[in-house]
Structure 1
Amino acid sequence: MAEEPVPDRERAGQTGGLSVATTTTDGIRVLHPTGEIDHHTCGRLRQALNELTADRPRVVVDMSRVTFMDSSGINTLIAAYKHVTAADGWIRIAAPTVPVLRVLQLVRLDGLITCYPDLDQALAP
């Protein structure tokens, strides 16, 4: 019996890796991290967040494919929040998975950066 191929997003989570795709929707930069965000991988997310060049950056981080996040991810998001709000912009989190939402709530980051249940709501004005 042949095994079914494992989708890339599942493979990224299993190996502890992280990839970050970036899209733009209506002038809003959307980051799509896939995998685990920890001290080994948060540099990829930080790099994507540091590439914001708009005068008033608007950013959504779609966390629907993030399987794990530790304090490194929290620190990266806080730094991005400070950078974006200093530039008179905003940052939102979309569709955090249950383990990620638990971490966001535990450290009360969801009180600093607004979390939305899905990407469409996070992109709404």
Structure 2
Amino acid sequence: MAEEEVTDTEQAAQPEQLSIVATTTDGIHVLTVAGEIDHHTGDTLGQALDHTGTPRPHVVVHMRQVAFMDSTGINILIAAHRALTEADGWLRLASPTGVVLRTLRLVGVDTVIDCHETLDQALTN
């Protein structure tokens, strides 16, 4: 029993992980992201955004479960926005909340990349 408690404590001390579930809805790639986006986890998001691989890619990043995002995440989103726009596609953000939404607004990302309150809005607007 003591070994299990040590394992739980060790896992709690590790940096927050990032998980991404990729789906497609009406030809739109939806990346549902959960966790923290920072210099430890940013590559995971970058790779997911790079693997949309269709002509005129349309991508929504669903951010409802993102608890934190630093400048790494901002830079990845801006780079993805540029790449998708150059490919005659687009990037939209859905459901950013709390500190993530405040960060997006503070640095002006919400004026460059379409941000929507809900996933449904991001999929239809």
Question: What TM bracket, shorter-length normalisation?
Answer: 0.7 to 0.9
Percent of matched pairs sharing the same residue: 56
Structure 1 unpaired stretches of 5+? 1-10
Pair member with larger Rg: 2
Alpha-carbon displacement from aligned partner over 1:38-67 (angstroms, at most 9, x marks no partner) = 000010000000001111000000000000
State how far apart, in whole Å, the 2-side matches of 1:32 and 1:66 are: 9
State how far apart, in whole Å, the 2-side matches of 1:15 and 1:96 are: 21
Equivalences, count: 114
Residue 49 of structure 1 pairs with residue 42 of structure 2? no
CA shift, 1:15, in A, is 4.8
Which residue does 1:7 correspond to in 2?
A: none
Letter in 2 for 1:119: L
State how far apart, in whole Å, the 2-side matches of 1:37 and 1:97 are: 14
CA-atom RMSD, angstroms? 1.6
State how far apart, in whole Å, the 2-side matches of 1:88 and 1:124 are: 18
Which residue does 1:39 correspond to in 2?
A: 39
Which residue does 2:7 correspond to in 1?
A: none
State how far apart, in whole Å, the 2-side matches of 1:34 and 1:88 are: 28
CA shift, 1:26, in A, is 0.2
Provide the TM-score with structure 2 as the length reference.
0.87
Question: Structure 1: which 4+ aligned runs deviate by more than 6 Å?
Answer: none
Which residue does 1:106 correspond to in 2?
A: 106
State how far apart, in whole Å, the 2-side matches of 1:103 and 1:119 are: 19
SS in 1 for 2:39: coil
Structure 2 unpaired stretches of 5+? 1-10
Matches within 5 A, 1:1-125: 15-125=15-125
